[in-house]
Amino acid sequence: MVQITSPAFKQNAARALADAGLQKALGKAKGAFLQRRAEAVARLPEFEQLRDIGRDIKNHTLANLDFYLETFAANVERAGGKVHWCSTAEDARAAVLEICRQAGARTVTKGKSMISEEIGINDHLEKHGITPVETDLGEYIIQLRKEHPSHIIAPAFHLNREDWEADFRRMHTDLPADRVFNERRDILAEARTKLRQRFIAADVGITGANFLIAETGSSVIVTNEGNGDLTQTLPRVHIALASIEKVVPTLEDATSLLRLLARSATGQDFSVYTTFSTGARRPGDLDGPEEYHVVLLDNGRTNMIGSEFQEMLRCIRCAACMNHCPVYGVTGGHAYGWVYPGPMGAVLTPSLIGVDKAGHLPNASTFCGKCESVCPVKIPLPKMMRHWREREFERHLTPAGVRRGLGVWAWFAKRPGAYRLATKTAIGALSLLARGKGAFRSLPLAGGWTKGRDLPAPEPGGTFMARYAKMQRGR
C-alpha cells in the first residue's frame, strides 16, 4: 500500500533535489516526452479542435454519469461479465480477493493500473497468500525494488539504466552473474524471458482500464508492450479495475479521446495496442478468459461531482501535465507522497485523501499554466489548485508564516501607492545586486528559494507600471 507522505512534501522535495541519481534521470527523461508530444501535435492540425471535443464528451458523460454507468453495467452483464460496484478501496480489495479465491488463484499477473496502486491490491493479495506479478516493464522493476511508480505512465521515470542492471543482477540470481548488458534491449530481453513464464502460469489477470464504453460494455486498455494483452488473454479469469469516471458513451466517443491520449502521453500518433474487451470467451473461441469482471471504484470521486473539482474527473491520465511541469521536473513523482503526482495529482490527491494531508501539493505550483495549456481535455488545473489553496486557508491549515506573509502582501495590495513604492524599491535593489546578470544563484534572505532554483533578476526598465506609464507618455 502506498504510505501517504504528502504532508512531508517539503522534506520529500528537498531530498529529491539532493538526489543526484534522480536529478540525472529527470534531466534525461523529460525532454524526450516534450519533444515527442510537440511533434505529434504538429502532425495533426485538428489537435486543438479535438481538445474541445474531448472536453465536451467528458462533460456530457459526467452530467449523465449515473445513466452511462448503469448502461455500461447492463451491457457487461449481457456479454456474460460481472460488475462489482465498490464505494471504497476496501470494498475493491475485498471484491478482487474474492474473485481470486473463487478461481483458486495462486499467482496473478497484472497490467499497469493506477487504480491498483490507489487500492493497494498487491499487498492485500500477498497478505492472503496470492502472488501478484507486475508485467509492465516499468512496474516490474518497481515491484522488484519494492517502490511505487513515480509517474502515471512511466513508472520507472526516476531510474537510470545502471539501476535496472543492478536490480536485475540482484534479483535474477539464476542467470549467470557475469552476463553483459550492452544495450537497453538486453535488459528488455531479460525481462521478456522472465515474465513469459509468469504469464503462462497465472490463474488470474488484472488490468486497469483507460476507458469503459457504455454502448458495448467494453473495457479498453492502451499499451505499447503487449503485457496487458497477455495478462487479460492467457489466464482463466480477467479482472479490469476502473474508476467510475472512465466511462464514455460510445466507440466514437472513445475514438476521439484516443486520438488525444497517445499524442499527449508519449507523443505517439497511436499506441501499439489499443484493446477492447467485452465479456468472457464466446462459444467456439479458442482463447480468452472464461470469466470477465469489472471492479468499478468510487473511492471519493462522487464527492467531486457538483463541486468546483468536478472538471478533474475529465482526466484521461495521459501525464502531459506532469511532463510539462517545472515542479515535477525537479522533484520527480515520489515527493508528492501518494499515488498521483504532478499537477493532476496536486488537484486529485486532496480530493481523495483530504486537503489536511495533501495541502502542500496545490501549493507546489508556480502557476505557470503550462499544465492547462497541454491538457488534452482542457482541465483548468491552476484554477483548481487555487480552489484548494482557498479551502486550505479557510480551514486554517495554512502555516502561520504563510498567513502572516499573505497579510503583509494584502496590506500593500490594498494600497496601490505603497505597493508601487515597495516594488520599485525592491526592483531597484535587485537590479543593483544583479549587476547585469540574468538570474541569481543565491541571494541573502532568499536561500529557501535559491537552494533549488535560480531567481530571475528584474529586466531593466523598472516595474510594469513604470514601463506602462512611460509607454503612454511616449504615444
Partner 1 sequence: MSKDAILGAIRRGLKRGPLPADQRAMLDGRLATHPRHLIPQRSRVSRPEQVALFVRNVEKEFGSVTRVADAKDIPGAVADYLAAQNLAPRFVLAPNPELQELPWSDKPMLEFEARRAQPSDAVSVQHGYAAIAETGTLMLPSDPARPTTLNILAETEIVVLRASRIAGAYEEAWDLLRAERTDAVTGGFMPRNVMLVTGPSRSADIEQTLELGAHGPRRLHIVLLDDDPAARSADDPTARSANDPAAPPTP
Interacting residues with partner 1 between 247 and 306 (CB under 8 A): 249-253, 255-256, 258-259, 266, 268-288, 296, 298, 302-306
- In the block, cell 501607492 appears at 417
- Nearest to partner 1 of 283, 444 (CB atom): 283
Which residues in 81-110 contact partner 1 (CB under 8 A)?
85-87, 91
Number of residues that bind partner 1 (CB under 8 A): 107
440 binds partner 1 (CB under 8 A): no
User: Which three-class secondary structure state does DSSP give residue 120?
Assistant: coil
Question: At closest approach, how far in Å is the CB of 271 from partner 1?
Answer: 7
Write down the least CB distance from residue 327 to partner 1, Å: 19
Nearest distance, CB of residue 159 and partner 1, angstroms: 8
| Binds partner 1 (CB under 8 A): choice among 8, 171, 188, 397 | 188
Q: DSSP labels for 276-324?
A: EE-SSPPTT-SSS-SEEEEEEE-TTGGGGTTSTTGGGGG-----HHHHT
DSSP 225: S
CA distance 159 to 388: 31
Give me the least distance between CB of 372 and partner 1, in Å please.
22
Q: Which is nearer to partner 1, 234 or 318 (CB)?
A: 234
CB nearer to partner 1: pick between 6 and 299: 299
- Please pick, from the candidates 113, 210, 227, 349, the single residue that binds partner 1 as defined by CB under 8 A: 227
Say whether residue 307 binds partner 1 (CB under 8 A).
yes
Least distance (Å) between residue 69 CB and partner 1? 7
- Does residue 171 touch partner 1 according to CB under 8 A? no
**5 touches partner 1 (CB under 8 A):** no
Rounded Cα distance between 203 and 223, Å, is: 21
By CB under 8 A, what part of segment 17-76 binds partner 1? 25, 28-29, 32-33, 44-46, 49-50, 53, 57, 63-71, 73, 75
> Shortest Cβ distance from residue 40 to partner 1 (Å)?
11
Closest alpha carbon to 71 in 56, 86, 59, 61? 61
In the complex with partner 1, which residue's Cβ is closer, 86 or 335?
86
Cα gap 470→465, rounded to integer Å:
9
Is the distance from CB of 188 to CB of 196 less than 8 angstroms? no
- DSSP code per residue over 322-344: HHT-TTHHHH-SGGG-SS--HHH
Q: Which of residues 122-141 bind partner 1 (CB under 8 A)?
A: 135-138, 141
DSSP label at 459? P
The yes or no reply on residue 420 touching partner 1 (CB under 8 A) is no
166 touching partner 1, by CB under 8 A: no
Q: Which residues of 164-195 are buried (b: 16+ CB within 10 A; e: fewer)?
A: bbebbeeebeeeeeeeebeeeeebeebbeebb
Residue 195 sits in the site that holds partner 1 (CB under 8 A)? yes
Which has the closest alpha carbon to 40: 370, 326, 379, 320? Answer: 320
Q: Which residues lie below 8 Å from residue 38, measured CB to CB, with a gap of 6+?
A: 267
